[in-house]
Amino acid sequence: MFITFEGIDGCGKTTQLNKVAEFLKSQGRKVLTLREPGGTEISEKIRELLLQSKKEMHSMTELLLFEAARAELIDKVIRPASKEGEIILCDRFYDSTLAYQGFGREMNTDDIRLLNRLATGGIKPDLTFYFHVSLNISKQRSSNRNLDRMESAGDDFFLRVIEGFNKLAADEPERVIKIDASREISDVSDDVICELKKIL
Ligand code: TYD
């Protein structure tokens, strides 16, 4: 079982991922938590390049680096773990690339879908939680931390990213569960656990 957690910065997906991991462990399940970009030595190095550098980067370079980090994570961690029958929880996955690079950076989404397929070798999430918040809430929640390169991209960029996630959720309702994440953490996690129980 491969479950991904998506949404814009400040939507609370990481907190919710940790709650799901706790819940599954309390049920005696073997759980692996990962984040993208990251999760292997090379992918973490690519993450630094992508997020910490304030230097201007060509959007194609950015896209290919996200996909390169993904190819490593799939090969070194996700494919082996899925063979072991672990439940894999991943903080962001290829929907982020469609939303941020496709909609945010306005790159061709068919090209991105092809690159996603090449990088993953066809592995797809069984279930995706999309934590929906408005741009205002995202900004309020992120206001007291240092912005990384993606987060400094501006309001128009983020409005397009939100539109992208909304569209992805509408296009694949059987995989993507859209959750109203503007509420209290405990209300959001009640919904998430309820959805999860239906599937397990
Ligand atoms: P994020 O996962 O939100 O971590 P943190 O909250 O710890 O900063 O940061 C990753 C950033 O990378 C985020 O701004 C979204 C962006 N991103 C893309 O633009 N494309 C991608 O394919 C992925 C996986 C992430």
Tens digits of residue pLDDT in 13-33: 999 999 999 999 999 999 999
Q: Indicate the pTM of the whole model.
A: 0.96
35 Cα to the center of ligand 1, angstroms: 9
Q: How many CB atoms lie within 10 A of CB 160?
A: 17
> CA–CA separation, 94 vs 157, rounded Å?
18
Tens digits of residue pLDDT in 94-144: 999 999 999 999 999 999 999 999 999 999 999 999 999 999 999 998 877
Which one, of 118, 93, 74, 116, lies nearest residue 175 by Cα?
Answer: 93
Minimum mean pLDDT range among 81-95, 133-147, 180-194: 133-147
When pLDDT is cut at 50, 70 and 90, the band that residue 55 belongs to is: confident
The upper half-sphere exposure of residue 65, i.e. CA atoms within 13 Å in the direction of its Cβ, equals 18
63 Cα to the center of ligand 1, angstroms: 12
Per-residue model confidence (pLDDT) at position 192: 98
The mean pLDDT value of the chain amounts to 95
145 Cα to the center of ligand 1, angstroms: 15
Which atom of ligand 1 lies closest to the CA of 104? 19
Q: Quick check: 54 pLDDT over 80?
A: no
Per-residue model confidence (pLDDT) at position 64: 98
> In the beta sheet, which residues pair with residue 88?
2, 32
Which DSSP category does 52 fall into?
A: H
Tokens of 123: 């592995």
Residue range 145-160: mean pLDDT, rounded: 87
SS3 (DSSP) at 175: coil
Q: What is the DSSP string of 59-114?
A: HHHHHHHHHHHHHHHIIIIIHHHHHTTPEEEEES-HHHIIIIIIIIS---HHHHHH
For ligand 1, atom 11: residue with the closest CA = 150
Q: Quick check: 173 pLDDT over 90?
A: yes
51 Cα to the center of ligand 1, angstroms: 8
Which atom of ligand 1 lies closest to the CA of 70? 24
By CB neighbour count within 10 A (0-12 exposed, 13-18 middle, 19+ buried), where does 115 fall?
buried
Edge to edge, what strands does the sheet with 127-132 contain? 31-35, 87-91, 2-6, 127-132, 176-180
Q: Cα angle vertex 171, ends 162, 12, to 5°? A: 40
**Cβ(39) – ligand 1 distance below 6 Å:** no
Which DSSP category does 121 fall into?
A: T
When pLDDT is cut at 50, 70 and 90, the band that residue 152 belongs to is: confident
